[in-house]
């Protein structure tokens, strides 16, 4: 697997030298691979927001390095700026950052900042809008006339329009209803597949990461206690609960089943896996 982003002994201290000084990240060391769908989970205040702002150089490490495609993103000013466009970051509640008169202009803000020519800006803007399922009719509307869910799509399109090879999303489904959650997650999946992009999904919903990501990174108190496939991470049930992170509901149900004396593998975490496991147990096999 080819490494795309690498963190080397990354530490970040806020308000250094003041009474408010605190370490948000301590000696974090891990790699992100090209084309993977990575999940980052952690409580509010665990350091996960600080972590992702290092991926595109919004925050500068207090110590340690961040390498994008093998090169230190802080080596030159130009490289830091270029990294912003290669690693797209969608913040939490991104709809509150819309500012342009039309949806089209808002989405094209990123590409215009990249200094692309008009035709390329236009192509990217329309492409990005299509990715998040915004119809053409919406492009000339004011973003402030749209519904909450649509505003969020516009904001996500604004980052996708830069054509980043790594797309980082901080709680992209927060506050949405089930239909809204599904459609945003499928937009992200489409981008992942169509562009072979690396996706980094920050979430505090275990169920959500369980069914979307290939690999999980757990952030707690500025450290990374666990990484691995969801199955590997969820096998640390008790420890995760101690960190204030629950387990997916299916995993919990299967742990209860085992406690009741049923001999079944508790390492399921999605409904589909649970269903298959029950059917297998009954000797029916998954349909």
Partner 1 sequence: MERPIIKTDHLTFSYHTDGEATPPVLTDVSLEIADGSFVAVLGHNGSGKSTLAKHMNAILLPTGGKVYVDGLDTSNEDLLLDVRRTVGMVFQNPDNQIVANVVEEDVAFAPENLGIPSAEIRQRVDEALAAVGMSEFATHAPHLLSGGQKQRVAIAGVIAMRPRCIVLDEPTAMLDPVGRAEVMRTIKTLNRKSGVTVVLITHHMDEAAQADRLIVMAGGHVVADGTPKTVFSDVEGLRNVGLTVPDTVELLYELRQDGLDLPLDALTDDECANALYKLLA
Partner 2 sequence: MALRDITLGQYFPGHTIVHRLDPRTKLLFTILFIVALFLCKTIVSYAIVAAVLAISILLSRIKPATILRGMKPVMLIIVITAMLNILYTTGEGTPLFQLWIFRIYPEGFLTAFYMILRIMLLITCTFLLTYTTSPILLTDGLELLLSPLKKLHAPIHELSMMMSIALRFIPTLIEETDKIMSAQKARGADFETGNLFQKARALVPLLVPLFISAFRRADELAIAMECRCYHGGEGRTRLRQLRYTTADYWVLAAGLALCVLIGVLRHFGW
Question: Residues 113, 142, 147, 193: which binds partner 2 (CB under 8 A)?
Answer: 113
Question: With contact defined as beta carbons under 8 Å apart, do 87 and 164 qualify?
Answer: yes
Contact between 98 and partner 2 by CB under 8 A: the answer reads yes
Q: How far is the CB of 61 from partner 1 (least distance, A)?
A: 25
Cross-strand bridge partners of residue 261:
none
Q: Which does 79 bind (CB under 5 to 8 A by kind): partner 1, partner 2, none?
A: none
Interface positions with partner 1 (CB under 8 A): 43-45, 147-149, 174-180, 204-207, 244-246, 248-250, 252-254, 256-257, 259-262, 264, 271, 274-275, 278-279, 281-282, 284, 287
Nearer to partner 2, 10 or 107 (CB): 107
Smallest CA-to-CA distance from 38 within 188, 251, 249 is with 188
Nearer to partner 1, 75 or 182 (CB): 182
Q: How far is the CB of 268 from partner 1 (least distance, A)?
A: 10
Burial (0-12, 13-18, 19+ Cβ within 10 Å), 260:
exposed
Question: Residues 37, 104, 109, 269: which binds partner 2 (CB under 8 A)?
Answer: 109
Q: Which stretch binds partner 2 (CB under 8 A): 51-59, 198-206, 221-229, 266-274?
A: 51-59
Q: Which does 256 bind (CB under 5 to 8 A by kind): partner 2, partner 1, none?
A: partner 1
Contact between 158 and partner 2 by CB under 8 A: the answer reads yes
| 3-state helix vs strand vs coil in the chain, percent to 5 | 45, 20, 35
The token duo for 160 is 């996708």
Residue at token pair 């640390």: 236
Total chain residues near partner 2 (CB under 8 A): 27
How many other CB atoms sit within 10 Å of the CB of residue 194? 10
Residues in 219-258 at the binding interface with partner 2, rule: CB under 8 A: none
The binding track of 117-156 with respect to partner 2, each residue x by CB under 8 A or -, is ---------------------------x------------
Question: With contact defined as beta carbons under 8 Å apart, do 66 and 7 qualify?
Answer: yes
Q: Helices (DSSP H) in 132-267: which residue ranges?
A: 136-139, 148-160, 178-195, 206-212, 230-234, 237-242, 249-259
Question: With contact defined as beta carbons under 8 Å apart, do 94 and 113 qualify?
Answer: no
Q: Give CA angle at 60 (10, 96), nearest 5°.
A: 115
Nearer to partner 1, 188 or 210 (CB): 210
Q: How far is the CB of 77 from partner 1 (least distance, A)?
A: 34
β-pairing, 37-41 vs 22-33, is unpaired
């Amino acid at each position: 697997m080819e490494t795309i982003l690498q963190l080397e002994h990354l530490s970040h201290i806020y308000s250094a030298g003041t009474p408010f000084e605190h370490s948000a990240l301590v000696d974090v060391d891990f790699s992100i691979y090209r084309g993977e769908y990575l999940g980052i989970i952690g409580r509010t205040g665990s350091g996960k927001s600080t972590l992702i702002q290092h991926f595109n150089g919004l925050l500068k490490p207090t110590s340690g390095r961040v390498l994008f495609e093998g090169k230190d993103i802080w080596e030159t000013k130009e490289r830091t700026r270029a990294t912003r466009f290669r690693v797209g970051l969608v913040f939490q509640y991104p709809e509150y950052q819309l500012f342009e008169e039309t949806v089209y202009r808002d989405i094209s803000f990123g590409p215009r900042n990249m200094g692309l020519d008009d035709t390329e800006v236009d192509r990217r803007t329309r492409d990005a809008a299509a990715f998040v399922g915004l119809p053409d009719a919406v492009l000339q509307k004011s973003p402030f006339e749209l519904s909450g869910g649509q505003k969020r799509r516009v904001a996500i399109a604004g980052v996708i329009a830069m054509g980043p090879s790594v797309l980082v999303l901080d709680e992209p489904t927060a506050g949405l209803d089930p239909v809204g959650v599904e459609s945003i997650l499928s937009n992200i999946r489409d981008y992942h597949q169509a562009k072979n992009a690396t996706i980094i999904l920050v979430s505090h919903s275990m169920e959500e990461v369980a069914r979307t990501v290939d690999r999980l990174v757990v952030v707690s108190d500025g450290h990374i206690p666990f990484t691995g496939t969801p199955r590997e991470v969820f096998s640390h049930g008790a420890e995760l609960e101690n960190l204030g992170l629950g387990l997916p509901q299916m995993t919990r149900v299967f742990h209860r089943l085992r406690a009741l004396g049923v001999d079944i593998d508790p390492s399921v975490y999605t409904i589909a896996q649970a269903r298959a496991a029950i059917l297998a147990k009954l000797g029916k096999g998954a349909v």
